[in-house]
Structure 1
Amino acid sequence: MTVARVVNRLRRPGTVAAAAAPPRGAVDSYRHDLDGLRGAAIALVVAFHIWFGRVSGGVDIFLVLSGFFFTGSLLRGAESTGAIRIGHTAHRLARRLLPALVTVLTAVFTATVLLRPFTQWTEIAAQTLASLLYYENWYLALSWSDYLAADPSVSPLQHLWSMAVQGQFYLVTLLGVALAVRLCRRLAGPAALRPGLAILLAAIAMASFRYAAHGTSVHQGWNYYDSFARAWELLAGALLAVVVPWLSAPRLVRVTLAVLGVAAVVACGWLIDGADEFPGPAALVPVGAALALIVAGSNLPAAAHPLPNRLLGTPAAVRLGELAYALYLWHWPILIFVLAETRSATAGLVRGLGVLAGSLVLAYLTNRFIEEPLRIRRSSWSAQETPARRRRTGQVVAVLGIAVLAISVGEQVVTRANPPQPVAFLDPVHYPGAAALVGGASTPRARLRPTVYEAPADHAYPSQDGCIADWDTRDVITCAYGNADAQHTVAVVGSSHAEHWVPALDLLAREHNFRVDVYLKMGCPLTVAAEPMYKGEAIPDCRDWSAEVIDRLGVDRPEWVFTTATRPRDKLGDETPADYLDVWSHLAERGLNVLAIRDTPWLRRDGVRYRAIDCLAQNGDRISCGMPRTDALDEVNPALEFAASFANVFPLDLSDAVCEPDVCAVTEGNILIYHDEHHLTASYSRSLAPELGRQLSPILGWW
């Protein structure tokens, strides 16, 4: 199970309209088959999350249903009363959505404090606040775009992005329909409401679809969470709610739609990798499936529904649909905590069944004792659902919500008031760093620096100075380090794994009188590939940026180009990708010499990356938090064999200054090596300067 790729979530949309009047022209007062559709979708979502590591399309189905139910509820209210009661509707939404959400957020925050290292508390507090205030999707989008942000891919709250999207949709739709009702009442009459809304919603949905299609090809990591990119899925359901009174279709058409709809629901997750393609055109499959099943049973009594709809309306499917919201809220954090505590990349059959069972139990308890007491009408109370019990439940949820909000806000205030700072130059006597490995320097007792608190800020200079292009920057940014007036020049080119050598090169350049120019872009090793990828997603900006950088290097003509020569394999060891050889050829054609440095190890267990500071904060030590050297690196530098075929390429390998013979530890010589999962701290990079200088001296001939 690759948790970084599974970014789904759902909500129980039917609760918004559960007690509403039927659509004009409808026969049934309630579509039980759509409850069953929720049940089927949640079953697929949970199974795909736990065992297959893929996006099932279930979230997209729920977005359609949310748009359909909520918009339909608003229209029926407007047509029966002539107005939209904004405050009343907002109160109903909060009463249906917040109790379960607050319960889960409280549990996740508490579990994080009890089970996870304190280095993760601030991040969870930030995501708790984002989830509670319905902007989690934007938080994740910004985290994806911020290369230095904490990786949110294993967050127990990541799945709440779509709750945020839906919450934003509800607010905009509530205000928009209320305005439309008022305008129609004053200008055109009630009969114009549905036709006018149909035109407006169709236009916005088409614009959103085009925007999402474009985003899929240029910026999928952001596009996946973008509210406007997702809007067309909700608007498809909303548009159907507007026109449903006018729908009529022959029996054969309805049966065909129902069969195709169910088939698409089941097959979607197997046929399409939604993490890479939704909400672009590929999302038409789950969206179309939901629309087809809605249309198939519209304006018919339940007994006359096509067989697939009747199957979806069976008690078991309907009951699962009733638990869908709570089940979705619980299953993902339980899965993430289980994987974290067992240090596993996959759940496996037995452990996965345990996650499923625990999620179902908590979903039932949440639905029975929190959701239902606060949702049902006074006239529907049973002997057990007394006003006092409802009041107590509401008070408990309110106290939890206020507590979670206060703690999250307080944590953010304290963190922002005391941000971590980069570490100043360290005394080499007490902090020998790499010299303890390659120079035999003694390591006296001293506090580790940077500390686990300081580490996130102790990154290379270009990131601190704004001298590296981020995800959203296509332009080539250059800055100079070392001696800016020197005649000799080394150009550091590529991604952040070339960047983290800049502190070492800067020291050497100041000592030996040369200039260091940087041409850097986050997540973008220099490439000539037609479709470069990062985290499994296309990054065409990297291709275009690299082409411009190679051309500029041919014009600027630095004496040496310093860039990475290897990358970690998916499982064990490291390799020199074929694309790197193509880059060397392009540089050779321009008469440029290359200093090709072996990449430093990436901290990972069973393919899952982890941060050194998290491991150390959980009472790990420098060895237990490290990696076996054979897992991190091949026995021989892979670049040596290929570099021998290029007269312009000179390989460098400082692995012995980072790793011990048997282990790549996370600290050496009292200095923390990594500020995250795989980037050197600026402090350790500076400690590498003497060994880097020793290897560069015979190649450059400048000292």
Structure 2
Amino acid sequence: MTSTADDRVRPGSQDHAPAPDRPTAGSPAAPGSPGQGQGRQPSDGSRFRPEIEGLRAVASLLVVVYHVWIGRVSGGVDVFFALTGFLAAGQLLRAAERGGIDLFGQWGRTLRRLVPPAAVVLVGTVVASVLFLPESRWPQTVQEVVTSAFFVENWQLAADSVDYYASHNTASVVQHFWSLSIQGQFALLFPVVIIVATLAARRAGIAARPAVATLLVAATAISLAWSVTTTATDQTFAYFDSLTRVWEFTLGGLLALGMSRLRLPVWAGIAAGWAGLAGLAACGMVLDVEGGFPGYLALWPVLCAAAVIVAGDTDHRFGTGRFLSSRPMQYLGSISFPLYLWHWPVLTLALVTFHREEPGPILGAAVIATSLLLAAGTRHLVEDPLLRSRRRRPGTLRDHRAAVLALVPVLVLALAWHAVTDARAEPSGLVGDPDHPGAAALAPGFVDRGARDAEAIPPAVSAYEDWVEYQSDCAGVPDRPALELCTYVPAPDPAARTIVVVGDSHMGQFLPAVAPIARERGWRVQTLIRPGCPLSTTSESNIGEAPCITWNEQTLDALGEMRPALVVAQATHNVRAGGTEATPPGMVEAWGRLAADGVPVLGIRDNPRFDSAPPSCVDTYGRGAPECDVPRAGLYPRASSLPAGTPSTVSFLDLSDSICLPTTCPPEIGRVMVYLDDNHLTGTFTASLAPVVGKRLAALLGR
């Protein structure tokens, strides 16, 4: 990745000062020649620092190698954040001390560095995704391409992390743009903060440097505290939250401000440099970066990077400066930004194309080699020409124009792809027509009179969006703030029988199976749905124990007061390969409380859950592919029945014969896609269950 400091001091740019970062005896940067047993005083970034370019190369290589061959997150991105803060703080403070920061010009230079290479990668990714990415992943990818182009991909991923109905989202081909988004946000906002701080210092009659240092200390403390707290309570959201990462930038900024005071003996610099590099290399293996960052754990890579920076570029033969300043490391550092951008889509698309979960040594080597070639091409064909053009014809407006023009093809392609996606999302028929019988195809005596080659519904490109919309007529429940009671099928007669469908999102998806009989007979269908919370006296999922317990308690009380004609809820849970299906005791206890209030229950056997999404498998291997059929015996190893102690007011409906074939549970039945993700039925398929469900409801409720 790139830094966001001015090109004049940016390692790897062609605009940096030509003087090498090797201080001579008597210079302000080093009172003694390094390697002669004396200490040195590292530069704060006002001169070219070859070891920083080498450090950027190390961080980028760690990110790539860990992603490709180790399958973990390395912590290299945190190094980029610290380096950005280090270079930006020093450059901006020097500009402020010289008389002021040209904010518009600063933004232009930042956008010119970040946007064109990122746009090239996004354009290439869109084209490759259309060719190789399964259509089921198109909607998510289109959306994330746009958010990546505008530096808000991290917020898109943060929102998805707390959106239960976005849980189907797989790792997208542009997911790695989350870090560039945070970096871009910092680069655009940090100059404003420095301007405000220096103006405030000027009014107060104090120097700019201590004012900025005080601000950075405060920002570091607040952001780190927020990062630790948020990581402990919601780590997935915290990982993408810009505010939890601010301290990594500001800590790098504080290092830049304090570099003039730091002197290390040669031996200490050698030890600090190698300890920092060793710590960086081991970080992803020792720490759970993906599952535990940022929080206080992110101090590891940030402090390791700081150790390398403080060690400096000593020429001692045992120092890290020799290694980091070597020609190969300098070149790798110069392409580190495009290398970071290219490696992830290349890896993701390679895995999809070759149907692999992991690349292995050969495919992994090909991924890295391809990424290096693309990165080098981006550097020499995009970044370098832009830098040369700016030197020949400098101008702030040119910088902004270059960034805007680079975005145009990205947005045009994204809009065109979105239009194609919308067109393909239109179903070719309706459930229940001869071509799309759905679950009816498994009924005894069924005769298929439809076209065998008819397209499945919903189409792969929109299967993930086939959620049942039930929250259109909702209201709170008095004295029960955790509840929202919605009416899915209204009834004109106030005295009409009421069915309440209760539980988690699986029951929300079940509503189309209940609706037809209710409309036919004038019944009312209402819902009490909370994703991740099946009806129980406790919590049966990891969505959140306390919220589920509270919600279930209030739900049982409300149902006891409402006394509906019937409650429809899950009767089993956790249907996975290995025979994990069970009826938790908490469910039986909940039914007992309803029985005491005279409320009957229809318990529905739960549908299967998978390790990966069946629609994506179909999109990858094709319809009818045996790779997508899961053995039924592993999911439903036996006929299910209600456990002992179940109240007599509870009936049981086993729909496994309508969801699975005798030996397998396929992703498509009767030319209807059964699942929208790895554990939810499509609304289209549950609508095809209406004849079976309607018969049972009619038997229970009569007319």
Pairwise same-fold verdict (TM > 0.5) = yes
The equivalent of 2:68 in structure 1 is 50
**Separation in structure 1 between the aligned mates of residue 556 and residue 277 of structure 2, nearest angstrom:** 51
> Are the counterparts in 2 of residues 564 and 597 from structure 1 also a CA contact under 8 Å?
yes
Q: CA deviation at 1:110?
A: 0.9
85, 110, 116: which one pairs with 1:67?
Answer: 85
**Separation in structure 2 between the aligned mates of residue 476 and residue 33 of structure 1, nearest angstrom:** 58
> Are the counterparts in 2 of residues 568 and 574 from structure 1 also a CA contact under 8 Å?
yes
Q: CA deviation at 1:331?
A: 0.8
The equivalent of 2:396 in structure 1 is none
> Are the counterparts in 2 of residues 327 and 359 from structure 1 also a CA contact under 8 Å?
yes
Query: What CA deviation, in whole Å up to 9, does each residue of 1:92-122 have, x standing for no partner?
Result: 2223222221211111111122223455444
**Separation in structure 1 between the aligned mates of residue 424 and residue 354 of structure 2, nearest angstrom:** 32
The equivalent of 2:413 in structure 1 is 407
Residue 515 of structure 2 is aligned to residue 506 of structure 1: yes
Kindly report which structure 2 residues correspond to 1:275-314, keeping only aligned pairs within 5 A, or say none.
275-297=290-312, 302-303=314-315, 307-308=319-320, 310-314=322-326
Rg larger in structure: 2
470, 477, 485: which one pairs with 1:462?
Answer: 470
* One-letter code aligned to 2:509: H
Query: What CA deviation, in whole Å up to 9, does each residue of 1:479-521 have, x standing for no partner?
Result: 2445765686654333212211122123344456765443322
Q: Secondary structure at the match of 2:217?
A: helix
The equivalent of 1:674 in structure 2 is 675
> Are the counterparts in 2 of residues 14 and 66 from structure 1 also a CA contact under 8 Å?
yes
Residues 467/228 of structure 1: CA separation in 2 closer, same or farther (3 Å cut):
farther
Residues 91/524 of structure 1: CA separation in 2 closer, same or farther (3 Å cut):
same
* One-letter code aligned to 1:66: T
**TM-score normalised over the length of structure 2:** 0.81
353, 359, 374: which one pairs with 1:362?
Answer: 374
Q: CA deviation at 1:161?
A: 0.7
Q: Secondary structure at the match of 1:153?
A: coil
Q: Secondary structure at the match of 1:475?
A: strand
Kindly report which structure 2 residues correspond to 1:126-165, keeping only aligned pairs within 5 A, or say none.
126-149=143-166, 151-165=168-182
> Are the counterparts in 2 of residues 565 and 651 from structure 1 also a CA contact under 8 Å?
no
* One-letter code aligned to 2:514: L
* One-letter code aligned to 2:511: V
Of 487-496 and 524-533, the range deviating more from structure 2: 524-533
**Separation in structure 1 between the aligned mates of residue 105 and residue 386 of structure 2, nearest angstrom:** 15
Residue 485 of structure 2 is aligned to residue 478 of structure 1: yes
**Separation in structure 2 between the aligned mates of residue 701 and residue 102 of structure 1, nearest angstrom:** 61
Residue 613 of structure 2 is aligned to residue 609 of structure 1: yes
Residue 334 of structure 2 is aligned to residue 325 of structure 1: no
Residues 527/354 of structure 1: CA separation in 2 closer, same or farther (3 Å cut):
farther
583, 587, 596: which one pairs with 1:584?
Answer: 587
The equivalent of 1:494 in structure 2 is 503
The equivalent of 2:542 in structure 1 is 533
Residues 659/267 of structure 1: CA separation in 2 closer, same or farther (3 Å cut):
same
The equivalent of 2:365 in structure 1 is 353
The equivalent of 2:605 in structure 1 is 598
The equivalent of 2:622 in structure 1 is 620
Residues 482/87 of structure 1: CA separation in 2 closer, same or farther (3 Å cut):
closer
Residues 217/522 of structure 1: CA separation in 2 closer, same or farther (3 Å cut):
farther
Residue 93 of structure 2 is aligned to residue 84 of structure 1: no
Query: What CA deviation, in whole Å up to 9, does each residue of 1:244-293 have, x standing for no partner?
Result: 32334566765665454334322221232222222222222222322333
438, 443, 450: which one pairs with 2:448?
Answer: 443
371, 377, 384: which one pairs with 2:383?
Answer: 371
548, 567, 578: which one pairs with 2:574?
Answer: 567
Q: CA deviation at 1:181?
A: 3.2
Of 28-37 and 276-285, the range deviating more from structure 2: 28-37
**Separation in structure 1 between the aligned mates of residue 676 and residue 246 of structure 2, nearest angstrom:** 37
Q: Secondary structure at the match of 1:460?
A: coil
> Are the counterparts in 2 of residues 468 and 519 from structure 1 also a CA contact under 8 Å?
no
The equivalent of 1:217 in structure 2 is 232
Residue 670 of structure 2 is aligned to residue 658 of structure 1: no
Q: CA deviation at 1:340?
A: 1.0
Q: CA deviation at 1:303?
A: 2.9
**Separation in structure 1 between the aligned mates of residue 324 and residue 500 of structure 2, nearest angstrom:** 63
Residues 178/399 of structure 1: CA separation in 2 closer, same or farther (3 Å cut):
closer
Q: Secondary structure at the match of 1:492?
A: strand
Of 557-566 and 251-260, the range deviating more from structure 2: 251-260
Query: What CA deviation, in whole Å up to 9, does each residue of 1:359-404 have, x standing for no partner?
Result: 122222222332233235988xxxxxx99xxxxx999998664222
Of 23-32 and 436-445, the range deviating more from structure 2: 23-32
Residues 13/20 of structure 1: CA separation in 2 closer, same or farther (3 Å cut):
same
Residues 378/587 of structure 1: CA separation in 2 closer, same or farther (3 Å cut):
closer
The equivalent of 1:5 in structure 2 is none
**Separation in structure 2 between the aligned mates of residue 413 and residue 241 of structure 1, nearest angstrom:** 48
The equivalent of 1:195 in structure 2 is 210
Q: CA deviation at 1:307?
A: 3.4
The equivalent of 2:115 in structure 1 is 98
* One-letter code aligned to 1:270: M
327, 338, 341: which one pairs with 2:350?
Answer: 338
Q: CA deviation at 1:158?
A: 0.6
Of 258-267 and 407-416, the range deviating more from structure 2: 407-416
The equivalent of 2:220 in structure 1 is 205
Residues 675/137 of structure 1: CA separation in 2 closer, same or farther (3 Å cut):
same
Q: CA deviation at 1:219?
A: 2.9
Residues 85/625 of structure 1: CA separation in 2 closer, same or farther (3 Å cut):
farther
Residue 41 of structure 2 is aligned to residue 33 of structure 1: no
The equivalent of 1:433 in structure 2 is 438
Residue 283 of structure 2 is aligned to residue 268 of structure 1: yes
> Are the counterparts in 2 of residues 20 and 73 from structure 1 also a CA contact under 8 Å?
no
**Separation in structure 1 between the aligned mates of residue 296 and residue 553 of structure 2, nearest angstrom:** 29
Structure 2 spans left out of the alignment, 5+ residues: 30-40, 394-398
**Separation in structure 2 between the aligned mates of residue 285 and residue 13 of structure 1, nearest angstrom:** 22
Residues 255/467 of structure 1: CA separation in 2 closer, same or farther (3 Å cut):
farther
**Separation in structure 1 between the aligned mates of residue 307 and residue 95 of structure 2, nearest angstrom:** 25
Q: CA deviation at 1:167?
A: 0.5
- Aligned-CA RMSD value: 4.2
**Separation in structure 1 between the aligned mates of residue 459 and residue 117 of structure 2, nearest angstrom:** 38
Q: CA deviation at 1:685?
A: 1.3
**Separation in structure 2 between the aligned mates of residue 378 and residue 620 of structure 1, nearest angstrom:** 50
Q: CA deviation at 1:321?
A: 2.4
Residues 252/589 of structure 1: CA separation in 2 closer, same or farther (3 Å cut):
farther
Structure 1 spans left out of the alignment, 5+ residues: 1-9, 380-385, 388-392
The equivalent of 1:382 in structure 2 is none
> Are the counterparts in 1 of residues 276 and 308 from structure 2 also a CA contact under 8 Å?
yes
> Are the counterparts in 2 of residues 223 and 229 from structure 1 also a CA contact under 8 Å?
yes
Q: CA deviation at 1:431?
A: 4.6
Q: Secondary structure at the match of 2:315?
A: helix
**Separation in structure 1 between the aligned mates of residue 410 and residue 136 of structure 2, nearest angstrom:** 19
**TM-score normalised over the length of structure 1:** 0.81
Query: What CA deviation, in whole Å up to 9, does each residue of 1:508-549 have, x standing for no partner?
Result: 444567654433223444577789536xxx786456545654
Q: Secondary structure at the match of 2:502?
A: strand
* One-letter code aligned to 1:158: Q
**Separation in structure 2 between the aligned mates of residue 453 and residue 498 of structure 1, nearest angstrom:** 24
* One-letter code aligned to 1:135: V
Q: Secondary structure at the match of 1:660?
A: coil
Q: Secondary structure at the match of 1:500?
A: helix
Q: CA deviation at 1:316?
A: 3.5
Residues 453/364 of structure 1: CA separation in 2 closer, same or farther (3 Å cut):
closer
Identity among equivalent pairs (%): 33
